[in-house]
Amino acid sequence: MSEPAVPVQPLVIPREAHPISRRNVSPAALKVLYGLRDAGFHAYLVGGAVRDLLAGRQPKDFDVATDATPEQVREVFRNCRLIGRRFRLAHVVFGREIIEVATFRANDDDGSGDRATEDGGRLLRDNVYGTIEDDAVRRDFTVNALYYAIEDFSVRDYVGGHADVVARRLRLIGDPEKRYREDPVRMLRAVRLAAKLGFDIDPSAADPMPGLAPLIAGAAPARLFDESLKLFLAGHAEQSFLGLERHQLLAALLPETAEALRTNRSGSLRAMVLDGLRNTDARIADDRPVTPAFLYAVLLWPAYCRELARLQAQGLDPAVAQQRAADRVTLHQAHRIALPRRFSLPMQEIWMLQSRFTLRQKKRVFRLLAHPRFRAAFDFLELRARVAPELGADLMFWRDAQGPSPGAPAAHVDALPLSDHDDERPAEGGETSGPGRRRRRRPRRGGGGAPASD
Ligand code: ATP
Ligand code: MG
């Protein structure tokens, strides 16, 4: 951890010099702050909430830091449970809202679990609690180390974070390279916070990133999955992606996609990914649902297309090549990001269904329309079609096939240009949307050749 070369006397920004109002703090968090104060402890709002409030944004949750131990916190609140083994935290529960209360900490274990086994299972509770200054300097960015004190409504700043919020700038506390080596995920956090808040990453924090990016591969895959959702499913996916590219972190998170984008000369795969991420952001802005399955279908599509092209060049049957490409991409990516199967399976289905959008035989049309993943697959086709105009006819056909209202598309299907036989071709057409299109007629099989997932 960085040397405590911080002034013990904080910069105190009085109430009249900052915009944080109790009106913007959740009533539950205020109850916790006042409850601790009334019991004789110091209590502060801390971290992302203070940063967001100072930046004029409504925080999504409120964390509290205090000099009370977890056991003391539990004595103050009946609705309190203690969690964590190595570092105990108090959760004060108000219906669906949980206020996390952390005792000032001296070490820099971020609770990620990456180092959970370092102590061989021993409880290392000694020396984990510290002073408020210790607590400030173990945080990552200066803007994340500000404390809003309930006793006088001031903001306490031990590391220059207030000036950085005003300058809309992310700076690490301490030596950047050292802080990234301690925890490489901080590089992703920098990109994420910059994307979310529209802040700049100070050159001191940005410059080491390309060189240290490979260290991200050492982070726990489960933690990288969580971090990826914060990057891409929080309403600023496009900016996150651009930030990862700018700071050369994309390959650390999505190695095969990064490689596929690098070798895709037309840039259409990148355009498709960016379109997909913009679309995700728009859905979140409209309060429409988003799923990690669809997100990852977008993010890993370039990797899938590249692998599929490779397998097809070896002369593999298209259907076999598709499944194998999907399996390989999923498997390889799992080394980096632990995408749970409940998301990777539907992701693969979205990919597999793409080849069935070329089908026009009535029975198959109905079957595809009834597929539980049809809607997601169709939305995906729409994304692909934006950068691959040759998919326009398929898109129109399947848009019409759904009819004006969901439920009974039969009459509409009858009015469509159906055929008695089906040409099956791989999903991906032309340079613009992926590997080469190969039209070929397949012999009709008993089951109509449709995958077993029907
Ligand atoms: P968000 O608004 O996305 O929740 P946040 O800054 O609150 O952003 P959290 O992951 O909730 O992010 O972390 C809460 C606080 O804990 C941070 O503001 C920061 O002070 C500290 N923190 C989190 N992760 C780290 C880390 N890897 N290293 C050091 N400090 C961290
Ligand atoms: Mg937070």
Averaged pLDDT score across all residues of the chain: 88
Q: Locate the DSSP E strands across 35-114.
A: 43-46, 63-66, 80-83, 89-94, 97-103
User: Quick check: CB of 47 below 6 Å from ligand 1?
Assistant: yes
Ligand nearest to the CA of 161: 1
Span(s) in the chain for CATH 3.30.460.10 = 11-167
pLDDT of residue 413 exceeding 90: no
Residue nearest to atom 18 of ligand 1 (CA): 47
Q: Cα separation of 129 and 135, whole Å?
A: 8
Superfamily of domain 254-454: cca-adding enzyme, domain 2 (1.10.3090.10)
CATH number for 11-167: choose from 3.30.460.10, 3.30.70.20, 1.10.760.10, 3.30.530.20.
3.30.460.10
Mutational pocket test of ligand 1: of 64, 104, 110, 178, the residue with most ligand atoms within 8 Å of the beta carbon: 110
More confident residue, 300 or 414: 300
In angstroms, the Cα distances linking 291 to 94, 186, 229, 342, 347 are 28, 25, 10, 11, 10
Per the rule left: phi > 0, alpha: psi between -120 and 50, beta: everything else, 424 is beta
Percent of all residues in the chain with a pLDDT value above 90, rounded to a whole number? 76
User: Quick check: CB of 110 below 6 Å from ligand 1?
Assistant: yes
User: Quick check: CB of 140 below 6 Å from ligand 1?
Assistant: yes
pTM: 0.87
Q: Cα separation of 290 and 285, whole Å?
A: 11
* Residue pLDDT, tens place only, 333-387: 999 999 999 999 999 999 999 999 988 888 888 899 999 999 999 999 999 999 9
Gap from CA of 189 to ligand 1 centroid (Å): 8
DSSP H helices in 21-117: 27-38, 48-54, 70-76
* Residue pLDDT, tens place only, 107-133: 755 444 444 434 444 444 446 899 999
Gap from CA of 168 to ligand 2 centroid (Å): 18
Gap from CA of 139 to ligand 1 centroid (Å): 7
* Residue pLDDT, tens place only, 58-86: 999 999 999 999 999 999 999 999 999 87
* Residue pLDDT, tens place only, 276-297: 999 999 999 999 999 999 999 9
Active site residues: 61, 63, 140
* Confidence at residue 453, expressed as pLDDT on a 0 to 100 scale: 34
pLDDT of residue 265 exceeding 70: yes
Looking at the CA of residue 108, tell me the nearest atom of ligand 1.
Answer: 29
